[in-house]
Amino acid sequence: MTKVLFNQEDEFIKELQTEFQDHPANIVRITNCLKTYPKLAPIQALILEASAKSVDGKDIITLERYCGDIWNIEKQDVPVIQKAEEVRARITEVCEELFLTVRGGVYLEEAKTA
């Protein structure tokens, strides 16, 4: 399985529309991931991840959208969390239009065996 990666939700949405326009009833997984910066702990990047398996099952269409940094300071974190919610809402709206089911989590590439 090949991973097709996008960093902007507009590109990811366009790919969903192209891939699933005539193939409803697929699943799109969406989740927020916190990635720790090794040298800057406890600061974490908030990444919204979304993924779907292509109709033919050969690709995983993936969005990794950086939404900002979480500092554990409410005043700074709220806009970052709101950004992630806005991106999630846009993707969810398109999924509903395409009759795609939205669930939590993310699809990962399968490990290749020798």
- The reply to whether 36 falls in a domain is yes
CATH number, residue 89: 3.30.720
Q: What is the DSSP string of 78-102?
A: HHHHHHHHHHHHHHHHHHHHTTPEE
Model's pTM, two decimal places?
Answer: 0.90
The answer to whether residue 52 sits within a structural domain is yes
* Total number of domains constituting the chain: 1
What are the pLDDT digits (tens) for 52-87?
A: 999 999 999 999 999 999 999 999 999 999 999 999
16-32 pLDDT, tens per residue? 999 999 888 899 999 99
The pairing of strands 27-36 and 2-6 is unpaired
The two three-digit tokens of residue 112, written as one number? 């290749």
- The residue range of the domain holding 81 is 2-104
On the CB side of 64, CA atoms within 13 Å amount to 10
Q: Give the residue carrying structure tokens 């050969």.
A: 58
**Residue 106: what pLDDT?**
94
In a domain, 110, yes or no: no
Within-domain flag for 64? yes
- Residue 49 within a domain: yes
